[in-house]
Amino acid sequence: MCCAVRPRLSEPVGGTDITPYAAVFDQSGKLASINGNTNGEISITDWTPKDGSGIANGADGPPADPLLPIQDPPDSSAFILNLGSTTQYGAAFGVNDQRQNGYTTGRLSGLDVSQQGIIFARDTNGQSNSLGQVALASFNNTDGLSPSGDTSWVETFDSGQAVIGRPDTGTLGAIQSSSVEESNVDLSAELVNLIIVQRNYQANAKTIETSDAVTQTIIHLR
């Protein structure tokens, strides 16, 4: 038995000239060969992913050398259709099983940052990729840093050189993604200091008032 398999992935723009693949089955209905290839594989090496308007969508296109084996992970749009488990019987056609080891083209949908500073990109096809890692720096004397404005600080001789490393290692802290840093001020201690300053101001104001009254009294002595 024989039938024609016509993958439409390599169809040229504006044309319908597609090379057919002849699948030959034995008497038991199992696939014997496809265009003489007995392993049941069809290599697609000239496919350019396009959007609904027929324009390339920016995904990786065909490989520079279609004769090379497909890289793992892939660096092009080339892939292999494995029809080795295909069967053909004298009955109505139907799909009995489907196994997929690829995924559709995805678009960037969001970014996640782990506590170790690793930046993950999430795509619309459910895949995620690591883009890089955020580095942190610590100083032997943080009080020696010099303010440069806009909550930024610069290294000085007193602060020492920056020690750069990965987050959540050694003395470096972890990164909390999508979080705003809370105030690190001790409100109780600051409130006590504020009361002390207020009392000191009142005492000084009273001293100045008393001194002024004494001065006025001396001036009006006759």
Residue 87, pLDDT score: 84
Domain region containing 154:
108-165
Say if residue 121 is in the same domain as residue 86: no
The confidence score (pLDDT) of residue 77 equals 84
pLDDT at 59: 81
CA distances to 4, 11, 38, 216, 217 from 35, rounded to whole Å, are 10, 19, 8, 118, 120
78 to 10, 11, 43, 61, 70: CA distances (angstroms): 11, 14, 7, 8, 7
pLDDT of the chain, 222 residues: tens digit per residue: 555 554 444 444 444 456 678 888 888 888 888 888 888 888 888 888 887 788 888 788 888 777 677 777 778 888 888 888 888 887 777 877 777 777 777 788 888 888 888 998 998 888 888 889 999 988 989 889 998 887 788 999 999 999 898 898 888 888 888 777 776 778 888 899 999 999 999 888 888 888 888 888 877 776
Neighbouring C-beta atoms of residue 117, cutoff 10 Å: 19
Q: Are residues 124 and 208 in the same domain?
A: no
State the pLDDT at residue 106. Answer: 79
113 and 60 in one domain?
Answer: no
Q: How many domains does the chain have?
A: 3
In a domain, 5, yes or no: yes
| 175 domain residue, yes or no | no
Q: What per-residue confidence (pLDDT) applies to 8?
A: 41
**In the prediction, which pLDDT does 173 show?**
85
Would you state the pLDDT for residue 198? 92
Does the global pTM surpass 0.75?
Answer: no
Residue 170 lies in a domain: no
Q: Is 32 in the same domain as 82?
A: yes
